[in-house]
Copies of this chain bind each other. A is one copy, B any other.
Amino acid sequence: MENKKSIALDMDGVLANNMAHYIAYYFEETGQHIAPSTLVGLPENACLPDETAVRRYLEHPGFFRTLPVSTNAQEVVRALHERYDLFVVSAAMEFPFSLRDKYDWLAEYFPFISWRNIVFCGDKSIIHTDYLLDDHVKNLKTFAGVPLLFDAFHNAQETEFERLKDWNAVATYFLA
């Protein structure tokens, strides 16, 4: 137990597929379908034709409770859980109404992760684990361990950090 390496896993854009949810909400609101490929390279908060939409969706009650889980995340996280000390670390504090939704979402999709291993914070600079898997460079920049960039449309141009393009790549990195 003591020798296990620790990994901090981000929620939004990593465990959860926020992009798919933005597109689904936009379709619900406007009837207009946005192709994921057209979002590549756009900033997350202004990725939709209505640049106020993402922020509005994030503040919509239930948004975080109904996020789709990322493809293969459950299987890979379950496998990682056997070999590493996993922590879910989410910058949830910006959206206080999301706190309980995020807790319940984790309980639904990742029930094997104990409450002891969940962290809701603002600034992630005080989190100290061996690895951090995150889609936002701002969180990786202040991290003292090994930073890993989880591929997302909004970070397509980033070259500073090692990029893992999906959960299969995460499995290969940590379990191969």
Contacts and interface: CB of A to CB of B under 8 A. Distances in A.
Q: Do most interface residues of chain A lie in helix, strand or loop, or is the interface mixed?
A: mixed
Contact of A120 (B104, B116, B119, B123): B119
Contacts of A127: 126-128
B103 A99 contact: yes
A117 B123 contact: yes
B99 A128 contact: no
Interface string A93-131: 110110110011000000000111111111100111100
A6 interface: yes
A118 B103 contact: no
Q: Top 4 A-B pairs ranked by shortest CB distance? A: A116-B122, A128-B128, A99-B99, A93-B115
